[in-house]
Chains A and B, each alone.
Chain A
Amino acid sequence: MAYIVPSSADTLEDQRLYTQARLTEVACLDCLARVGVKKNSEHHTSIQWHAESLAECTEFRRLDAAPTGRPIRASCPRMQASIDAAVRDGQLTIGAEDGY
């Protein structure tokens, strides 16, 4: 009873490629959160959080405590800074591979 019902096995491989390939772990410099990051270019960023990391993020906890009226947390500036630092340190490489 799935939404995406592919008729080809290659589609499953595409799903894996686009959602999981080339994610580099980046640790927040300020808290215990760790996320999977992909940067295809300087301005592109893809960030995969996991439930445990999200609970660790002190910035999001602070935002939750002082809600602005909208439930969406746009981004964590500390994690953004940590990702920028990972790029500077050469821990995270910028570059795309054939569109994914």
Chain B
Amino acid sequence: MLDTGSVPERFARGWHCLGLATDLADGTPHGVEAFGGKLVVWSDTQGNINVLDGYCRHMGGDLTQGSVKGDEIACPFHDWRWGGDGKCKAIPYARRVPLRARTARYESVVRNGMLMIWHDAEGSPANHDILPPELEGIGTERYTDWTWNVLDVPTAHCGEIVDNVVDMAHFFYIHFAFPTNFRNVFEGHMATQFMESTGRPDMAGEGYGDEDLILKSEATYYGPSFMINWLETDYKGFLTKVILVNCHVPTGPNSFKLQYGLAVEKPDGLDDKTARYIAKKYSDMFGDGFLQDVHIWLNKAPVQNPLLCEEDGPVYQLRRWYEQFYVDAADVTDEMTERFEFEVDTTKANEFWRAEVEANLSRKAAEDATATT
């Protein structure tokens, strides 16, 4: 019987990305739904981006509707001024600021042009050793600027998207590709998927379904929510290097926002406009792919005891790895972080899928022939 279990009572420990720094550092306050509440994000006169609880510790005014005054965020309700360190700096009508006047603050770092914040239910200081790596060349002329898109997933736990790390077969059914090579490695705070795939000729134009498209993909989660996907694409002999970021922020116990951004290494001899066009094409393709996933998540049941066949990836080991972000730091076991490798045997699956695709193509050819006569 399906064990649907229950949703975790807390949000994962680790770095979470709130968006592109350039979008958030425009001098105005931004509201970001996260961790069951709302955060206020603004940049001060030094250009530092600050993140605090979105509701004023005084009387609960919505700071995201306030204004930036100097380095501080001012509440629209009584004009209390909050600094990026979480301390109240001024109350214009008060004799003095109460010493206790502090609010919840999130440590933040801009990495690869993205605003990352640290979250831990236990309140530990941010661990900068486990930030995602700096991407060489990003932010320079070598790459296009990040594209950025956000999808709302209002009725599923973010663990559903993490499951995709090991889900070989869904690439055929949901994303219309043949995964010919599929490997996973989990170690420490990282979980990686290595995959090579080609598109399904019977699904031309949909998802990744273009038989001329060959993908070589290496995708790593750095912590619970932030994945960097290095892709080498080969389209009719035209090679492109793409970096895709797939990350999410939990908004409630059973909801999250999925964010994806993409940058393309500008091919030699191509002008910026064409490079941006290529980036947009790939961004649209992966965006369609994420929408296909979202449709599944919004309708499926959560499963704690998946029933697996030999062609499936290591779902249980992935979830064991993922659990390290949900338990107290003191309760992280060796099993959760020890290195684990898994290679899926894709030979039989591809044999059956090739036959299925051939049948689809013949049927379609027969239908087309009937339609024209």
Contact = CB atoms under 8 A, between A and B. Distances in A.
Contacts of A2: 8, 323, 326-327
Contact of A45 (B9, B316, B334, B343): B343
Given A4-B319, A14-B316, A99-B309, A74 B185 contact: yes
B240 interface: no
B310 interface: yes
A72 interface: yes
Nearest to A15: B316
A33 B9 CA distance: 38
A18 B308 contact: yes
A42 B345 contact: yes
Contacts of A51: 334, 338
A50 to B, nearest CB: 6
A49 B341 CA distance: 8
A88 interface: no
Contact of B308 (A1, A3, A45, A100): A100
Contact of A18 (B5, B220, B316): B316
B304 interface: yes
Contacts of A14: 305, 316
Contact of A7 (B6, B322, B328): B6
B339 A3 contact: no
Contacts, number: 126
B320 A19 contact: yes
Size bracket of the A interface: 35 or more
Nearest to A53: B339
Contacts of B319: 3-4
B194 A43 contact: no
Interface of A: 1-8, 10-11, 14-15, 18-19, 40-51, 54, 69-75, 96, 99-100
28 contacts: A1-B8, A1-B328, A2-B326, A3-B323, A4-B5, A5-B5, A5-B6, A6-B304, A7-B304, A10-B3, A14-B316, A19-B335, A40-B345, A41-B347, A43-B345, A43-B346, A43-B347, A45-B343, A46-B340, A46-B341, A47-B342, A49-B339, A50-B334, A50-B338, A54-B338, A70-B220, A75-B183, A96-B310
Given A2-B326, A73-B187, A99-B308, 20 more contacts: A1-B331, A2-B323, A5-B8, A5-B304, A6-B3, A7-B4, A10-B3, A11-B5, A18-B314, A18-B315, A41-B345, A42-B345, A43-B346, A44-B343, A45-B342, A46-B343, A49-B187, A72-B192, A72-B218, A99-B312
